[in-house]
């Protein structure tokens, strides 16, 4: 299995599929799966290509579940090319480390999932339930026309996913040490606070929105939203952008723009956040408008068959008992969670993702393939 996983990963890495451009990656995967009898369905939306590949049929979670692997073929830009020791799309192997943009996030684990699914079907053509792969080219950027749209399509036609493994790089210090069994929610506020334009020498004829905003922003930045819980750290808020002024040193501006983001636990929800921010703005008598962007609610798989099977598989092939964590950013798991599926994220080490010289250990990819294969065996054989 290792050689086939590495060969496929190299093929995918060599394609410059910067989000949302797939560059033919999904076609390579589709052709490979189609040879083993997978049904291939293309679900393009705008400039995003999505693949839904399935084998078998699913009727219910107990006797014939749908087990899906989810991943993405798009990657982030390479950054400063001079910082790379190899060409970022060359897919070179040096000391058993596969280098290239997307090697760890997530063309490596995607290749392991594809080969594992193909081999499982080849060895078990009459398996119970359904094996599925949900692959998108819109995860690293807008995430507007990818997994979220596929999930909407599946839900509209009552086509369930019962168990889902997302191939994001979850391992932290050692391969297999972490399973992500949930993620925090993410919401961004774009806040515009109004003032009155004027000359700095005549402040009584103007109203400085920067001065008026500072006390409120200080309270907002230091507000204790919650204390987290057994699975989630406390909700955190970060002010990420502040813009004001005309560029002149003698003009009081008439507006300040503040952008902030919250990563929130299951202890609160988006409406509670909006209400508290409105209360603070009214407390300081500010004239404002605010635009909200909820990119995902928190989700959690705290127990169930998928976690049990995954932990045992990782113990068997990686010789380590993984921890369950919900730290990190968002993933497409937040969309699949809407289907009521048990979801985990599991993949290789994440220490080089989005960096120059991104790389993944070839043996770890082989172990990933064995783990994914074993999960299918335990759930569908």
Summarize pLDDT for 176-217 with one digit per residue, the tens: 999 999 999 999 999 999 999 999 999 999 999 999 999 999
Q: In which order are the strands placed within the sheet that holds 288-296?
A: 236-244, 255-264, 185-194, 288-296
Preceding omega of 348 cis (within 30 degrees of 0): no
- Read off the pLDDT of residues 91-149 as tens digits, 9 standing for 90 and up: 999 999 999 999 999 999 999 999 999 999 999 999 999 999 999 999 998 899 999 99
Task: Give CATH 3.40.630.10 domain extents, the chain.
Answer: 1-183+298-380
Q: Are strands 185-194 and 130-136 parallel, antiparallel or unpaired?
A: unpaired
Question: Position of tokens 């943009």?
Answer: 101
What does the alpha-carbon distance between residue 176 and residue 96 come to, in Å, rounded to a whole number?
Answer: 18
Residue positions forming the annotated binding site for Zn(2+): 72, 105, 140, 168, 354
Catalytic residue, from 74, 138, 145, 255: name it: 74
Rg (CA), the chain: 24
Active site annotation includes 139: yes
Which CB contacts under 8 angstroms, 24+ apart, belong to 198-202? Answer: 198/251, 198/252, 199/250, 199/251, 199/252, 200/249, 200/250, 200/251, 200/252, 201/250
Question: Which architecture does CATH list for 1-183+298-380?
Answer: 3-Layer(aba) Sandwich (3.40)
> Tokens 């402040």 map to which residue?
203
Annotated catalytic residue 36? no
Active-site choice (21, 119, 138, 139): 139
Architecture field, domain 185-296: 2-Layer Sandwich (3.30)
Instruction: Tell me what pLDDT residue 302 has.
Output: 85
pTM attached to this predicted model: 0.89
What's the CA gap between 287 and 121, in Å, rounded?
61
Q: Provide the 3-class DSSP secondary structure of residue 370.
A: helix
Contact 228, 267 (CB under 8 A): yes
Domain span(s) for CATH 3.30.70.360 in the chain: 185-296
């Amino acid at each position: 299995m290792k050689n086939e996983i590495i060969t496929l990963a190299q093929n995918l890495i060599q394609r410059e599929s910067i989000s949302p451009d797939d560059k033919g990656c999904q076609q390579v995967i589709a052709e490979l799966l189609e040879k083993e009898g997978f049904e291939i369905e293309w679900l393009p939306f705008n400039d995003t290509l999505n693949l839904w590949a399935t084998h078998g049929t699913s009727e219910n979670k107990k006797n014939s579940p749908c087990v899906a692997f989810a991943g993405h073929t798009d990657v982030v830009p390479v950054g400063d090319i001079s910082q790379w020791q190899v060409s970022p799309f060359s897919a070179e192997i040096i000391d058993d480390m596969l280098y290239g943009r997307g090697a760890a996030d997530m063309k490596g684990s995607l290749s392991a999932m594809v080969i594992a699914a193909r081999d499982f079907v080849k060895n078990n053509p009459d398996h119970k339930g359904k094996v599925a792969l949900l692959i998108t080219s819109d995860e690293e950027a807008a995430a507007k026309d990818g997994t979220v749209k596929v999930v909407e399509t599946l839900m509209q036609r009552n086509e369930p996913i019962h168990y889902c493994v997302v191939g994001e790089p979850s391992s932290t210090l050692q391969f297999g040490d972490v399973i992500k069994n949930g993620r925090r929610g993410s919401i961004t506020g774009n806040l515009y606070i109004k003032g009155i334009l004027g000359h700095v020498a005549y402040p009584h004829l103007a109203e400085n929105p920067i001065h008026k905003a500072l006390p409120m922003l200080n309270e907002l930045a230091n507000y204790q939203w919650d204390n987290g819980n057994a699975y989630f750290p406390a909700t955190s808020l970060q002010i990420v952008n502040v813009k004001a002024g005309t560029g002149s040193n003698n003009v009081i501006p008439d507006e300040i723009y503040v952008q902030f983001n919250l990563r929130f636990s299951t202890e609160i929800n988006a409406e509670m956040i909006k209400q508290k921010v409105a209360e603070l703005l009214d407390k300081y008598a500010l004239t404002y408008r605010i635009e909200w962007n909820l990119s995902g609610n928190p989700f959690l798989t705290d127990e169930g068959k998928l976690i049990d099977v995954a932990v045992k598989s990782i113990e068997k092939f990686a010789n380590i008992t993984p921890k369950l964590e919900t730290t990190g950013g968002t993933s497409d798991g937040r969309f699949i969670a809407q289907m009521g599926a048990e979801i985990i994220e599991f993949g290789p080490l994440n220490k080089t993702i989005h960096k120059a010289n991104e790389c993944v250990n070839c043996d770890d990819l082989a172990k990933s393939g064995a783990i994914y294969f074993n999960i299918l065996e335990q759930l569908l054989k």
